[in-house]
Amino acid sequence: MSDGASGQRLGFADNSCLSPGDGRQEWLRDERLEQETSREEHGVIVIESSSSMDSGTADAIADGVSRQLDPRWIMVQRVHFAILLVILATVSFAGVLVIWAASGILVLGLLLVPLWLTALGALGWLLQRWPAISYRHTSYRVDEAGLEITRGVYWRTTTNVPRSRIQHTDVSQGPLERRYSLGSLVVYTAGTHHSEVTLSGLEFTIAQRIRAHLLPRDQGDAV
């Protein structure tokens, strides 16, 4: 480094420099000088590899604590159901018109249309309420043994995925999931029963952490 008082450029170890007349803040120079002095005094800089950091982060999720899905999954499901409702409404309304026209009875149309509106309104209410109900009854748990998923409103089911039987894992995102930074974890296991297990509604980074934990250690960086 050269002295800035003599009008020369002040150089640093990372090949950056400050000129006396470049107008940059004094605190930046003092901070950079302090950092390099500290490095010179210690003589050793410890750099943690990204693979070891990912391994530690993945293991942090495997604490055996039961967790719920991301609450943003409720909105994603409501949008999905709204799209489904529009499709059903269009098809069913066309069916009502065909039946009405085929019958040739005016009174029949006056009965069918209110019934169609009532059924559509009830279905719409249920489809908008159901995501929140299902969310409250869905949870998952990750530990050293593997993955456990519990779901079901009326009939509760618990799916255990042993880590030793996992062959492959994927994390996927649909358009709406990408919009809300969510992802779906797909686990493929050996055997025919529950050979493919999907856990949707996870935050994308959490899904990646679970995937990294479930993968064998020698495949964590390769897949």
Q: Which of 102, 135, 168 is the last residue of a domain?
A: 135
142 and 105 fall within a common domain: no
146 and 164 fall within a common domain: yes
Contact between 145 and 74 under an 8 Å Cβ cutoff? The reply is no
160 and 129 fall within a common domain: no
**Structural domain includes residue 222:** no
Contact between 75 and 180 under an 8 Å Cβ cutoff? The reply is yes
Q: Which of 117, 135, 153 is the last residue of a domain?
A: 135
pLDDT at 4 over 70: no
Helix (H) or strand (E) holding 182: strand 182-189
158 and 185 fall within a common domain: yes
Does this model's pTM top 0.95? My answer is no
102 and 158 fall within a common domain: no
Residue 61 token pair:
């999720």
Residue 57 confidence (pLDDT): 53
Contact between 141 and 169 under an 8 Å Cβ cutoff? The reply is no
Q: Which range marks the domain in which residue 23 is found? A: 4-42
Greatest Cα pair distance in the chain: 102
pLDDT at 12 over 70: no
129 and 156 fall within a common domain: no
**Structural domain includes residue 164:** yes
Contact between 75 and 207 under an 8 Å Cβ cutoff? The reply is no
142 and 108 fall within a common domain: no
Residue 67 token pair:
């967790």
Q: Cβ of 208: how many Cβ atoms within 10 Å?
A: 19
Number of domains the chain contains: 3
pLDDT in tens, 126-180: 999 999 999 999 999 999 989 999 999 999 999 999 888 888 899 999 999 999 9
Q: Which of 114, 135, 156 is the last residue of a domain?
A: 135
Return the amino acid letter for 207: A
Contact between 154 and 177 under an 8 Å Cβ cutoff? The reply is no
**Structural domain includes residue 220:** no
148 and 126 fall within a common domain: no
pLDDT in tens, 53-97: 344 555 578 888 999 999 999 999 999 999 999 999 999 999 888
Residue 35 confidence (pLDDT): 52
Residue 175 confidence (pLDDT): 92
Residue 105 confidence (pLDDT): 79
Cα radius of gyration (the chain)? 30
pLDDT in tens, 175-200: 999 999 999 999 998 876 668 899 99
pLDDT at 36 over 70: no
**Structural domain includes residue 60:** no
Residue 178 CA to residue 63 CA, distance in Å, equals: 27
**Structural domain includes residue 90:** yes
112 and 156 fall within a common domain: no
